[in-house]
A and B are shown apart, each in its own frame.
Chain A
Amino acid sequence: MPETTNSPVADQVPTPVEAVAAAAAPEQRDAPRSLWNDAWHDLRRKPVFYISSLLILFLIAISLWPSLITSTSPYACDLGKSQMGPANGHPFGFDTQGCDVYARTVYGARASVAVGIFTTLGATILGSVLGGLAGFYGGWWDAILSRISDIFFGIPILLGGVVFLSVIKGGSITTVVTFMVLLGWPQIARIARGAVITAKQQDYVQAARALGASSSRMLLRHIAPNALAPVIVVATIALGTYISLEATLSFLGVGLKPPTVSWGIDISQASTMIRNAPHMLLWPAGALSVTVLAFIMLGDAVRDALDPKLR
């Protein structure tokens, strides 16, 4: 944001020379900094970037190996301990079924992180390929795609998710991801389409065209690297909102289903007991919020680094 002063103009619109140089020899030391190098340089000096990245790495680590920080199984429950407060070795207390809230909170990270990452990957790949091609070729393909994404835009995402998932009755991570990708791609496609249309009109693309470059070469070498930035920004921020959406769907009983351990399910079950045992709700809710926060903070930092207009 405002505190960054390095080369404020140079990265806005790379000149053809810069773009070609950056594309041809990205490692070359004394080459002018590309948008990506500049963004990386900018990110490295931001505490927010480090905090959120560390948090995300930690979350990914415990998603892969939850036993790193807990030795209790989330399924080892003792009804005799139902809703009891913290005890020795069980710092977060027990839920209604007598399961260890700490273990369930740790194991719950896996579902959220997996849904967030896979949905973002799916929606970004699908959206940027479809949107990018629509922006590049225009014509009837663009018209059809725009109308299709209009249709998905006509349905508020939470509403669509609830209706679709309640009919499918899946409850596995794959089902939830599939439907969230289906509802999420138009957002990315719109951004990608706009970015490609902007990039297409730049002089360096016209120059490439004049030199006889093929469509695929123009798309891959010249347009894609320059249209990618806005897509990545939107995708990183969307990752956080996808996690939040998954938890909301699971909370409403249409997203993930037991035996998958999910914060949304645990919060939903704890919500009826909030007067007697608020700890059952607060720990998974806190973990969920911190996870979403980590991804949104990262998205924010990436946006600041990649969008020179905001400086």
Chain B
Amino acid sequence: MGRYVIRRLLQMIPVFVGSTFLIFVMVYALGDPVAALFGDRAPDPATAAQIRRDLYLDHPLWQQYTHYMAQIFQGNFGTAFTGQPVLQLMGSAWPLTIRLTIVAVIVEGVIGIILGIISGMRRGRSVDTGVLVLTLIVVSIPTFVSGYVLQFLFGVKWGVVNPSVSAAAPFNELILPGVVLALVSLAYVTRLTRTSIAENTRADYVRTAVAKGLPRRRVILRHLLRNSLIPVVTFIGTDVGALMGGAIVTERIFNIHGVGYQLYQGILRQNSPTVVGFVTILVIVFLVANLLVDLLYAVLDPRIRYA
């Protein structure tokens, strides 16, 4: 196990370098952060040169990149063009997005798995068909559409919840945004659970368990579910990164000042240090989530052994 973890960590390095370098090139080389600072006015050449020197932009690209990464690993994410340290922006943004993601993961995990079990156990019946049609429809509605429609219905028309989230963003205000963020993944979890359950209900070990006279509840919970949930857990794990990236839409709709919001503002204003800093962290989260999922495999499925 230890050797496997080390090998995976080593494999993550080129991927991490590649992804962040790609983003770095896009933001710093193709865009012009200095021109962005000045908006529509043409910058004074001397001032522009001074800023370039301060931002380390007068060096070749690979040196800029290594300089930037060296700074990051010392905990210095640079200063946003608004004058705020990026680290400070992150400190206020990450807790919100993490809370939002937790709500979304709980929603998609709990509801998705329950719906998947119900339809998987009653395969081909009307409940199953209903759930399948429902998931198809949910997958087809883009997040920003369901976001606005649900916000309009629950927030404005029926007045059940606040249409936008307050600055503190406590958990109860994040329920609706969390549901919106989770909806598409929820449908995938449902379908995945359904397929997995339906495949495993015909497995030998389930027949044995039933033949032994075990109560139905125990057969489902201990035997069937444990084996069927492996692909589902994988999906949810890899989905965490996508959810955090997808929060860009949800946070905009519900006015949550989290990672997606800061990132979006950073992109609009060409605030390069903010964009590269946040994306770097997102890439790390994504890679670590994938690694954890692979390790979880071994815990869930004793047949898998990592040498």
A: residues with CB less than 8 A from B are 1-3, 147-148, 150-160, 162-164, 166-168, 240, 244, 247-248, 251-254, 267-268, 271, 274-275, 278, 281-282, 285, 288-290, 292-293, 296-297, 300, 310
Inter-chain contact A244/B142, CB cutoff 8 Å:
yes
Task: Pick from B18, B31, B123, B246: contact of A167, CB below 8 A.
Answer: B31
A interface, by DSSP: helix, strand, loop or mixed?
A: helix
| CB atoms of A154 and B18 under 8 A apart | yes
Check if A288 sits within 8 Å of B142, measured CB to CB. Answer: yes
B78 within 8 A of A: no
- In the bound complex, what is the Cα–Cα distance between A244 and B139 (angstroms)? 10
Residue of A nearest to B151 (CB): A274
Bound-complex Cα distance A74 to B25 (A) = 38
A163 touches B149 (CB 8 A): no
Given A151-B15, A151-B18, the answer on whether A168 and B30 have CB atoms closer than 8 Å is yes
The answer to whether A154 and B287 have CB atoms under 8 Å apart is: yes
Give the distance in Å from the alpha carbon of A151 to the alpha carbon of B25 in the complex: 14
Residues A296 and B136 in contact, CB atoms below 8 Å apart = yes
- What is the interface residue range for chain B against chain A? 35 or more
In the bound complex, what is the Cα–Cα distance between A163 and B264 (angstroms)?
9
Residues of B near any A CB (own CB < 8 A): 14-16, 18-19, 22-23, 26-27, 30-31, 123-124, 136-137, 139-145, 148-149, 151-152, 156, 195, 241-242, 244-246, 248-249, 252-253, 263-264, 267-268, 270, 275, 279, 282-283, 286-287
- Pick the residue among B23, B141, B148, B252 that contacts A163 (CB under 8 A): B23
Whole-angstrom CA separation of A157 from B184 in the bound complex: 15
Contacting residues, chain B, for A156 (C-beta < 8 A): 241-242, 244-246, 282, 286
- Contact A151 B140, CB 8 Å, known A156-B246, A163-B26, A281-B148: no
Asked whether, in the complex, the Cβ of B279 is within 8 Å of the Cβ of A252, the reply is no
Min CB–CB distance A12 → chain B (angstroms): 15
Cβ contact of B124, chosen from A3, A153, A244, A296, cutoff 8 A: A3
State the CA gap A244–B19 with chains docked (Å): 24
Assembled-state Cα–Cα distance A67/B286 (Å): 46
| Complex alpha-carbon distance, A159 and B245, angstroms | 6
Query: Which of B14, B30, B152, B242 contacts A275, CB < 8 Å?
Result: B152
Asked, given contacts A151-B18, A310-B195, whether A274 binds B248 with beta carbons under 8 Å apart, the answer is: no
Complex contact B282–A159 (CB within 8 A): yes
